Structure 1
Amino acid sequence: MSNKPLKRHKALQPLSREHHHGLLLSWKLREGFKKNIEVKRMKTYTDWFFKTHLIPHFEMEEQYIFPLLGNDNDLIKRALTEHRRLKRLFTNDKDVSKALGLIEEELEQHIRFEERVLFKEIQKIATETQLQHIEKIHHPDEKFIDNLDDEFWK
């Protein structure tokens, strides 16, 4: 039996590219902490990322991807719980430094879970028609545009 990785269906590839940008956010936060960057600067960037990229990404997954497995599925329950937790961390204005540290860790773990476990499972059960629908509504031709106003991670 081969352990060859499952090739990601092209309908899910744009979501995987978005996950890549989320992993980069975790890396940028790690770099910011290593360089003792002012927390306010990192928070400004994460607020922008959350509003511009993460909220629409979560909405896409929750409305169109997760229902393919059903909301009673344990993997979906975990993903939804993690989405709620991440939303709370991104909107936490009380202990910002701690929240950013947790975002750095938990966002990466969440993305790894979705890529390595959840999307593999979805891809196994989704019909070609369902995947084509996702491809049609997700606009894979839209490119990621980063906010380079303050590249604190460099």
Structure 2
Amino acid sequence: MKKPIKRHEALKPLSREHHHGLLLCWKIRQGVKLDVNMARIKSYTDWFRRHYLDPHFEAEEKYIFPVLGNDHELVKRALAEHRRLKRLFNQEADLAIAMNSIEEELDSHIRFEERVLFNEIQAVATEEQLADIEKHHNGIQFSDDDWKDHFWQN
């Protein structure tokens, strides 16, 4: 069994946000398994993107990725995946394909960031850079309690 990753305090809020992204993937999988109308799932993913994913990507791109620089191979990959995910979230046609792609690609992207990219950032970041991350991003508080359609519980 793998040893849990010891995440620096400055990166923990982003890791918590990743947890909610993985929960989104699970909710999409549940919705598909329960044969929920794709428009209902899309409605939730649109809400999630606006409130959580867009601000999360923005924080990573503004405060985290600069530690390695946009020309770093791992950052280039993460940025390309951000662009691809944004396109998938904005897709209005072929919703079943889009939802399945979001579920697979977001899950894969989060695992890449947690297991590879964040470890590299944590290894090279200076205390000053980590303090700067902590100062500018202390996490997005997640709650979907007000969301009425819990399609994943059908």
Aligned to 1:119: 118
* Structure 2 stretches lacking a partner, 5+ long: none
1:84-103 equivalences under 5 Å are 84-103=83-102
SS across alignment from 1:144: coil
TM-score calculated relative to the size of structure 2 = 0.94
Cα distance between partner residues in 1 of 2:69 and 2:87: 24
Q: 1:134 Cα shift?
A: 0.7
TM-score calculated relative to the size of structure 1 = 0.94
Q: 1:148 Cα shift?
A: 2.8
Aligned to 1:60: 59
Cα distance between partner residues in 2 of 1:128 and 1:54: 27
Cα distance between partner residues in 1 of 2:150 and 2:5: 35
Matched pairs, number:
151
Cα distance between partner residues in 2 of 1:130 and 1:87: 27
Aligned to 2:142: 144
SS across alignment from 1:11: helix
RMSD of aligned C-alpha atoms? Answer: 1.2
Cα distance between partner residues in 1 of 2:89 and 2:5: 32
SS across alignment from 2:18: helix
1:5-154 equivalences under 5 Å are 5-140=4-139, 142-146=140-144, 147-154=146-153
* Structure 1 stretches lacking a partner, 5+ long: none
SS across alignment from 1:36: coil
Task: Give the share of equivalent positions with the same residue, in percent.
Answer: 62
Cα distance between partner residues in 2 of 1:14 and 1:7: 13
Cα distance between partner residues in 2 of 1:122 and 1:144: 24
